[in-house]
Structure 1
């Protein structure tokens, strides 16, 4: 296996003790971004390396960690792939310069306990040791909080399946049996099974350092389904059952095609009333885009931002000036939290302690608030479709296509990387034309 070969290579005397400890971690992190990356040779080109470095930056990784990660990939390129291209020296030099500016220590110095403690955040000491270790490793490698939560859940379920917390004694056959149980007994979807497999692979290969072979498991069948969407009349039926901040979120998710998370994470500075648009920052795939600001939502949105201003003044007066900032901006702009533009449009009612950073601040509204309101509205409206908040985004795209909007325009508004994803919204009535009728309706 390519990654295993890399780990054998670093045992030589060409690397220092610090690099021998950290290079395998970063290469595994890089490999996990590829399908079968832990088994096959990894793709190493300038685009993939820059994308990986930017993803670490988006997760808050300091420059010295990104410097380590790119150097690990460069060493893999040379020692395992036997190539001298792509040339990563410029990227490494830039990260080295930034890293020296960030640290009060030499760049080559091993990470201090203080640095690692900040990266790991506050771990729950009541959890089993193997879960604490896994969480700490994922935070050091800057996995998303949602990914950490999902992976930990699957490792806990696997522990319950095998009936032990001493997971190092189990291997390929046990994981295969667990995945088969999920598909046969649990009847889970293919994506759920894949997520569980990824979580277990991370735990065994990245935490325990145990190489796994072929996982012989029954695979869940991948369904070819179309998304759930609502008609225009159903949208109006749903809207009457929303009030206050939930009504405004409904208007934005449907009227601008936002993902639920994008709506919750909207910041005041990204609302452009004069131009009539919203700027969506760091969307899925770490892409920014511009979309509509629905006229119907303008007045409510102005009132909501006034409320966010009041919350900001209350927090500043109480000494809570910090707010979560992406892309390590908290270090670059230490006073950004005092600027109201960085605050959330939909702030939570109270301040909370962030488990990862250890900071107390006012975060954005919780996911379940709008989800619960949507579920209640769906029940009261009498609509029997199995819709979720994301169905509003599907409805946005579907209605644009039905109105004759160019498919590439819909792709840009939705932030889709692949045009084929957008094409899924061209449903039967669009594929065959509005004049085509069922044979039953053409009988005399």
Structure 2
């Protein structure tokens, strides 16, 4: 469950809002604390999603304690807040754990204090989670109801087991057709990994990249400033944003105007466009299961396990740091295992 601001949140309470009648007022301690939290997260190069999540949980604690000054907060405030989430808000175990991790970070790196023990906190019981998995026929039915490039995106999600965000952030240099491997940089937890490119996608991907190259050449001719890059890379390699190897595999349709500089840059295709296309395709396919972009990653893992691929190999392909995360797929199939890296898109059953 994504954290969201409490109903009591008012625009005037936001760290980014200002009060024109209080220009000489001292800075708000909470605004300063939230700014420090943002800086600490950025220094560690955590993802934007982590920044958003941790900031929202800190704000929730702020409202729960009725704007108690950050320097006055103690462990009992956190205990009462976490118990409130479990008892009153009835949040999921994952949300309570997310809140705990966010506030632990806030106390350690912003308030420079340790939590101590969390005894006495009502903990949400974690329910067994069994992911939704599609059959190969169901995967194909969804793909048949998708238009280009969304059909290719879903083939990559299923054929390579990528998260949607990982697929959208692919750059041309991440595809190695000589070795037939795809490299995912800065995946979840800032980890890199490689996965095999399905043989059945080679020609389709090459044709797609040909269109990407044509779009890039038109962009260069129009004088655009390049793709968006991490600031550190752009500082080190000033011309990298216009180089072909740094272009997105799935670029957005329109250029983005950067207000501060007036430059036109290209972003990757937004995740919401893919999610909407998949939702519509699932509806047209008349599936009797809930299915989203992440379902194809679950299906990738389950189909490999059903094909007797070793669990440790699947863990490596998915980029899981803990084998226990990968073991959820043992509840979806009955299998024996062999050690071999393979894509389910390359299974020879005549469906694809």
What's the TM-score bracket when you normalise by the shorter of the two chains? 0.7 to 0.9
Tell me whether 1:246 sits opposite 2:137 in the alignment. no
Counterpart contact for 2:312–2:323, Cα < 8 Å: yes
Counterpart contact for 2:132–2:289, Cα < 8 Å: yes
Tell me whether 1:306 sits opposite 2:197 in the alignment. no
Query: Which of 84, 92, 101 matches 1:181?
Result: 84
Counterpart contact for 2:228–2:266, Cα < 8 Å: yes
Tell me whether 1:126 sits opposite 2:29 in the alignment. no
Query: Which of 190, 209, 216 matches 2:112?
Result: 209
Q: Which residue of 2 aligns with 1:111?
A: none
Counterpart contact for 1:278–1:293, Cα < 8 Å: yes
Deviation at 1:369, TM superposition (A): 1.9
TM value normalised by structure 2: 0.75
What whole-Å deviation, never above 9, does each CA across 1:359-390 have from its counterpart, x for those lacking one?
Answer: 87322222222222222333332323333312
Q: For residues 378 and 126 of structure 1, what CA distance do their matches in structure 2 show?
A: 41
Q: For residues 162 and 352 of structure 1, what CA distance do their matches in structure 2 show?
A: 41
Query: 3-state DSSP class of the match of 1:426?
Result: helix
Query: 3-state DSSP class of the match of 1:279?
Result: strand
Counterpart contact for 1:125–1:132, Cα < 8 Å: no
Q: Which residue of 2 aligns with 1:318?
A: 223
Q: Which moved more, 1:151-160 or 1:261-270?
A: 151-160
Query: Which of 95, 98, 101 matches 1:195?
Result: 98
Deviation at 1:151, TM superposition (A): 0.6
Counterpart contact for 1:251–1:296, Cα < 8 Å: no
What whole-Å deviation, never above 9, does each CA across 1:84-143 have from its counterpart, x for those lacking one?
Answer: xxxxxxxxxxxxxxxxxxxxxxxxxxxxxxxxxxxxxxx984277243343234324433
Q: How does 1:148-187 map to 2 (within 5 A)?
A: 148-164=51-67, 166-187=69-90
Q: How does 1:383-422 map to 2 (within 5 A)?
A: 383-422=287-326
Counterpart contact for 2:304–2:314, Cα < 8 Å: yes
Deviation at 1:391, TM superposition (A): 1.6
Tell me whether 1:371 sits opposite 2:262 in the alignment. no
Q: Which residue of 1 aligns with 2:47?
A: 144
Deviation at 1:322, TM superposition (A): 5.2
Structure 1 runs not aligned, ≥5 long: 1-122, 434-444
Deviation at 1:262, TM superposition (A): 1.4
Q: For residues 99 and 111 of structure 2, what CA distance do their matches in structure 1 show?
A: 17
Cα distance change, pair 373–428 in 1 and its aligned pair in 2 (3 A): closer
Cα distance change, pair 364–430 in 1 and its aligned pair in 2 (3 A): same
Query: 3-state DSSP class of the match of 2:334?
Result: helix
Cα distance change, pair 414–172 in 1 and its aligned pair in 2 (3 A): closer
Deviation at 1:150, TM superposition (A): 0.5
Larger Cα Rg: Structure 1 or Structure 2? 1
Counterpart contact for 1:323–1:342, Cα < 8 Å: no
TM value normalised by structure 1: 0.61
Cα distance change, pair 141–177 in 1 and its aligned pair in 2 (3 A): same
Matched residue count: 310
Deviation at 1:178, TM superposition (A): 1.5
Q: Which residue of 1 aligns with 2:130?
A: 226
Cα distance change, pair 265–225 in 1 and its aligned pair in 2 (3 A): same
Cα distance change, pair 170–279 in 1 and its aligned pair in 2 (3 A): closer
Deviation at 1:419, TM superposition (A): 4.4
Q: For residues 269 and 141 of structure 1, what CA distance do their matches in structure 2 show?
A: 25
Q: Which moved more, 1:370-379 or 1:404-413?
A: 404-413
Cα distance change, pair 354–220 in 1 and its aligned pair in 2 (3 A): farther
Q: For residues 242 and 386 of structure 1, what CA distance do their matches in structure 2 show?
A: 17
Q: For residues 176 and 420 of structure 1, what CA distance do their matches in structure 2 show?
A: 28
Cα distance change, pair 429–194 in 1 and its aligned pair in 2 (3 A): closer
Deviation at 1:214, TM superposition (A): 3.2
Tell me whether 1:350 sits opposite 2:241 in the alignment. no
